[in-house]
Amino acid sequence: MIAKEELDRAFDARFSPEIKEKLQAARVAVAGLGGLGSNIAVMLARSGVGHLFLVDFDKVDTTNLNRQAYTIPHLGMDKTDAIKMILADINPYLDIKTECVEVTPGNVSRLFGEYGIVCEAFDRPDRKAMLVRELLTQTEAVVVSGNGMAGYGDADEIRTNRVNGRLFVCGDLTTDVGSGTGLMAPRVAVCAGHQANKVIQLILK
């Protein structure tokens, strides 16, 4: 296995020790490990975020391969287990915690109450609204949500919108997967990139 010192050296060549220490000390939760969440987790792991808490109750299936971080060997696995495999191949020295559970208003506080930054990465609109509402009313977390990334319209319609000091919403805010437009890898990845970038900004601010 690659030595931790070797990975650290590669990071040190690009960024200052202050940045590395802040990222290594950061604790970020991601709720939902589909197209948004799996890509967010990969980007945060590559960026050296030291602790990730990743939550999903779903298994990897063939319809995920068009936009999610998983590959054929992961089919049938819990997404929480599959993402751990992927992240271990990027950086085996990160502290990755997962829970295979459906998020409900009743467990939001237990799951996310100790996290300063939580990414909302669900797919159904009612579930997205529920999670954002419950995080903002039950916890102190800053929430980075994804809203509107279906189809193949202009990628630069996807933006990071500051709603208030505790809520950032990334997306075009309008393109609904239910309106006959499917999800495709590029715009989903653009939106995930907006979310991961906002998380890094929040960590380094």
Check binding of 150 to another protein (CB under 8 A): yes
Kindly tell me which residue out of 43, 149, 158, 190 binds another protein, with binding defined by CB under 8 A: 149
Name the segment binding another protein (CB under 8 A); options: 44-52, 84-92, 95-103, 124-132. Answer: 124-132
Check binding of 36 to another protein (CB under 8 A): yes
Check binding of 78 to another protein (CB under 8 A): no
Check binding of 148 to another protein (CB under 8 A): yes
Contact criterion met (CB below 8 Å) for 99 and 93:
no
Mapping DSSP to helix (H, G, I), strand (E, B) and coil, where does residue 29 land?
A: strand
Check binding of 142 to another protein (CB under 8 A): no
Angle at 90 between CA 3 and CA 66, to 5 degrees: 165
Q: Strands 167-171, 159-164: parallel, antiparallel or unpaired by DSSP? A: antiparallel
Distance of CA 64 to the CA centre of its chain: 16
Helix crossing, 35-46 with 185-204: angle to 10°? 50
**Contact residues for another protein (CB under 8 A)?**
32, 34-37, 121-126, 128-130, 132-133, 136-137, 146-150, 163-164, 167, 169, 173-178, 183, 188
